[in-house]
A and B are shown apart, each in its own frame.
Chain A
Amino acid sequence: MAFKKLATGQNRNPGRLICWGGKPRLLFFALLICVAFSGSLSEAWDDDEKRFYKKRQQMVDSQIKKRGVSDLKVLRAMAAVKRHLFVPEHLQQQAYVDGPLPIGYGQTISQPYIVAYMTEILRVQPQHKVLEVGTGSGYQAAVLAKMSDRVHSIEIIPELAKSAARRLEVLGYTGVKTRQGDGYHGWPEAAPFDAIMVTAAAEFIPPPLLGQLKEGGRMIIPVGSPFYVQHLMLVEKRGGEITTRSLMPVRFVPFRRAQ
């Protein structure tokens, strides 16, 4: 997958330039061009960043707040995480549109509103330990990391797990622990969890995951096809009983109407 390299506008290995060519005059001009070029690159980069920042604010206002997500921590997290760095390069300009986007391997990065809504439903507190099953691009984990420093994320597809781990690391999401593995088993060493988010929904909820959910804990599962979440399943564990509540991802309006 061709994700854009995470350029920072700085040369990561300036030492190499000194040896280049061996001719001081040529080297001087080369350096001058490089500085000028990196300057214009950096400006372009800043422009991009400003544009994406603006789009992100618009996304929060028009897609998330408007639909009823009101938790300030969630809104701040959605405004802070640079979604365009979690999508394939050719789709960066669409990163803030109101919909999911393909990330390869038959997977998608969820619609921004769904990410925000699921995060709100989980009611994550800073001290909470959170497990995410299905890291994907790492975007949801990054949002969760803004809410808690104890986020664990598992991805079964090795290529996705590797690229997401690298991306989260480079972007400084050190509070997220990632692992490539089968989400069926959960993360027994870190269990129990206050909140579990199963973004790679299966036809059944793996018994080990239910076992790793704390008493009083919440689990959220988006149910749908890669491009459309039809409902969110909230699973709660209380007094040894497991109950579920299906939530519509849209403001509920009866489908049966007066003629």
Chain B
Amino acid sequence: MNRDSAPTLRLHLALILLSASLIAFQLEQMQLLALVQWHHFAYLVISVALLGFGASGTIISLYRSLLLRHQEWLLPVLMFACATLMVLAIPLSREMTSRFDICLLFVEPGQTGLLLLSQCIYLLVFFLGALPLGLVFVSFSSRINTLYCANLVGSGIGGLGAVSLMYFFLPQQLPALTALLPWAAGFLVIPVRRRKALLAGGVLVLAVITAVAWRPPQIEVSQYKDISRTLDLPGAETVSNNPSPYGMVQLVTAPALRHAPGLSLTYGGEVPGVKAAVFINGNWFGAVSGGDPSFLRATAADLPYAMAQRDRVLVLQAGTGRDILHALENGAERIVAVDPHQEAVEVLADFYGAGDADPIHHPQVHYSSLAPRNWLAFDQERYDLITLPTVGSFGGASGLFALQEQYLLTREAFIELWQHLSPNGVLQVSTWLDSPSRNPLRLGATIGESLEKMGVDPHSHVAAVRGWNMITFILKRSPLTSGDLRKVRSFCERLQFDPTLLPGLQEKERVRYHTPADPGFFADINTLFLPASRRELYTSYDFNLRPVSDNRPFFSQFLRWKSIPHLVRLFGERSLPFFELGYLIVLVSFVQMSLAAVLLILLPLVRLGLPGRTGLKSWSFPFFSGLGLGYMFFEIMLIHELVLFFGHPIFAVAAGISSLLVFSGIGSLVSGRLLGHRSGHGLAAALVSLLLLLYFFILPPLLHQAITLPTIWKTLFFLLLIGPPAMAMGMPFPLGLERLARHSKSQAAWAWGINGCVSVVSTGLATIVAVELGFSAVMLIACAAYGLAALSTLKS
């Protein structure tokens, strides 16, 4: 390949294939890690990929002439190496991943190192893939437009392709398919010289890919995941594995498994064993009931039916249909069941025989596969009963899900739910009791604040009953009548539950059967319904009890930094991490990735001379770090908005990343023509900052308005909406880089490195800011970062 000649069609094709593989591999890794561990690694994968890209940029800066001299044969070799490592990443990291476990991170020394080591292999994949991309850009800088375009088109195809393939292949099968792309790319760029040796190498790589595809590596799911613990039961076996972009849906039969949450201690009958259990990415999704479901009448969830007949019932996040069965058992006429996990429902339909009573496909049941909030947005029906899934998890392991966005438990969700109740309808939501008390109190706070916002006095509309491990709240649209109160008391007496919230309740009634650990529990729950004193509880409690909102939808995140010393004294260092394991894992990986970014991207650049010595312009540091931070913060914020908009994280990630890349690519292509003058880079950054400020106000409401559209229209609307800011975001970086490159190549290398390093750090940082301050703060910081970048150019 001659550097002076124009890049060939084959080279463009190779770039498309390579770029597609790198994005696809990212999404596949997110899916795989969510299966074997938990979902926390999504942001870690993005950080690792950015780190690989950043490190490759540094290497190109350092060894530019050497690499360009040998690039003819280096390109296919790097692509083959990327393909090989892509396909071998799972087997090579197996030893580390099989020993690593999130749950042991704070128990066994060395687990942090295992986490880091396992990521090194994936880092190498992205490094080896990014290196040829960078080399081609540098080598054919005069034709950067078409090459950059090929890169972005490939990335877009990769995102969509990976999501499509997830419907048909298991997570461990996908890397072999994806590895065919860089392999084919390498094949396309084999030069005439050394053809034989490179062809032989290519054939060898193909043989490795074929061997792994033929026998995909075994993956080991954490022994602490729900599915592993179920499969440990005697006679348990996996009946079916069904891949899908929503996660791996697995059906397990376990004769010894029984499921009866909220069961009264007075129940003396048989609790039937479940016929099967469904797991998504190894997490409990629901059980398929077997035998007589009459035991459901002895659970706290029976309270709404004990108060009145419920003809129209809405079951949100219906899972495997336990609440549907309960409604049918109580004679409901029409049941609307909503659950976004279509795949799981199809697996269940296959499992149920023709003669079996499949609750989801019962004639009285209308099923919708939308996400609950999407359903609520356009549904006009009113219901006598709306049920939500149980909040938290038994035993308090919900700390693992501290970073899970739970849009059904926000203030906005409760207000929407209230609007869907018939005049005498009730909303029922239960939560596991925990110690120290967090979930019941935050749920109480959410209910109290939501009702007050609508001008409803919670005292006359809310009742709650408590068993030994669960509390069930009932929100009635009309005030509770004396008849209602009588029925609640009678229900409690019959099943030995204690009324916890009820108009006219005596203190001694609250602890008739079950005494909580915290004597202040009742006082706290009373306070949550008193607007005047509620704020004092929020500030004085050791955990964050404030209701969550769509802006900050992390219901299971309770940790307050200032309480940590007190909690450590009380519970010890070994126990504290298990309160908020999910959040702490993000912190650990954030620190790891930040250190790695400095070590692998910035430190090697010192060989070119320190920034001061290279004469790096004073505006460069704030400018390029501002762009890195602003871009990643906006991307993370966008993914968050899209989770609610599209209803599922994987679609949100695919749509968010792909659309931003493609539009930014177009932006950078036209940037030279539009803003090619001396201060163009500053103007471009200022334009982005202004656009982000505008979108801060208009993006959430516009997306909310369009949430009810059919998917195709929704997608088109989103693309039209995101196009302008995303295009503008592609402009400042190439303009700024071009400006620096005119002066010195080493200055450009430093700028590239600073941007890469800040991008890696920002991925984790954006998550932490979102948890602490909300996504609107993430957006504002993105806007400010671009503003700072623009201001920094004023002096120059």
Q: Give the interface of A toward B (CB within 8 A).
A: 98-102, 104-106, 156-158, 180, 182, 184, 201-207, 210-211, 223-228, 230-231, 233, 235, 241-248, 250-259
Given that A158-B234, A207-B268, A241-B496 are contacting pairs, would A248 and B517 also be in contact in the complex, using a CB cutoff of 8 Å? Answer: yes
Judge whether B266 and A255 touch: CB under 8 Å: no
Q: Which residue of A lies closest to B233 (CB)?
A: A156
Across the interface, which residues of B come within 8 angstroms of A224, CB to CB?
395-396
In the docked arrangement, what's the CA distance between A80 and B537, Å? 46
Across the interface, which residues of B come within 8 angstroms of A102, CB to CB?
104, 107-108
Judge whether A225 and B232 touch: CB under 8 Å: no
Judge whether B520 and A254 touch: CB under 8 Å: yes
Judge whether A243 and B395 touch: CB under 8 Å: no
- Interchain nearest-CB distance for B513 vs A (Å): 5
Which residues of B (118-146) have their CB < 8 Å from a CB of A? none
Across the interface, which residues of A come within 8 angstroms of B542, CB to CB?
255-257
Tell me which of B225, B433, B541 contacts A255 (CB under 8 A).
Answer: B541
Across the interface, which residues of B come within 8 angstroms of A156, CB to CB?
233-234, 256
Judge whether B256 and A255 touch: CB under 8 Å: no
Q: Which residue of B lies closest to A207 (CB)?
A: B268
Judge whether B513 and A241 touch: CB under 8 Å: yes
Please give me the 7 A-B residue pairs with the lowest Cβ-Cβ distance, nearest first.
A228-B578, A231-B435, A246-B517, A204-B263, A99-B574, A225-B397, A244-B468
Judge whether A227 and B578 touch: CB under 8 Å: yes
Tell me which of B469, B539, B570 contacts A203 (CB under 8 A).
Answer: B469
Q: Does B479 contact A (CB under 8 A)?
A: no
Judge whether B224 and A226 touch: CB under 8 Å: yes
- Interchain nearest-CB distance for A240 vs B (Å): 10
Q: Give the interface of B toward A (CB within 8 A).
A: 103-104, 107-108, 223-225, 228-229, 232-234, 256, 258-263, 265-271, 394-397, 399, 433-437, 468-469, 496, 513-518, 520, 524, 537, 539-543, 566, 570-572, 574-575, 578-579
Judge whether B256 and A182 touch: CB under 8 Å: yes
In the docked arrangement, what's the CA distance between A229 and B267, Å? 26
Judge whether A256 and B572 touch: CB under 8 Å: no
Judge whether B232 and A105 touch: CB under 8 Å: yes
Judge whether A204 and B224 touch: CB under 8 Å: no
Judge whether A256 and B537 touch: CB under 8 Å: yes
Across the interface, which residues of A come within 8 angstroms of B515, CB to CB?
243-246
Judge whether B107 and A227 touch: CB under 8 Å: yes
Judge whether B234 and A157 touch: CB under 8 Å: yes
In the docked arrangement, what's the CA distance between A100 and B225, Å? 18
In the docked arrangement, what's the CA distance between A241 and B223, Å? 38
Judge whether B396 and A228 touch: CB under 8 Å: yes
Across the interface, which residues of A come within 8 angstroms of B107, CB to CB?
99-102, 227
Judge whether A210 and B265 touch: CB under 8 Å: yes
In the docked arrangement, what's the CA distance between A247 and B468, Å? 12
Q: Which residue of A lies closest to B514 (CB)?
A: A244
Q: Which of A157, A211, A226, A255 has the most CB of B within 10 A?
A: A255
In the docked arrangement, what's the CA distance between A190 and B16, Å? 71
- Interchain nearest-CB distance for B189 vs A (Å): 48
Tell me which of A205, A226, A257 contacts B265 (CB under 8 A).
Answer: A205
Given that A101-B107, A225-B397, A253-B570 are contacting pairs, would A206 and B265 also be in contact in the complex, using a CB cutoff of 8 Å? Answer: no
Judge whether A259 and B513 touch: CB under 8 Å: no
- Interchain nearest-CB distance for B528 vs A (Å): 12
Q: Which residue of B lies closest to A161 (CB)?
A: B234
- Interchain nearest-CB distance for A106 vs B (Å): 4
In the docked arrangement, what's the CA distance between A211 and B268, Å? 8
Given that A157-B233, A255-B436, A257-B540 are contacting pairs, would A106 and B258 also be in contact in the complex, using a CB cutoff of 8 Å? Answer: no
Tell me which of A100, A233, A254 contacts B468 (CB under 8 A).
Answer: A233
Judge whether A106 and B435 touch: CB under 8 Å: no
Tell me which of A230, A250, A259 contacts B434 (CB under 8 A).
Answer: A230
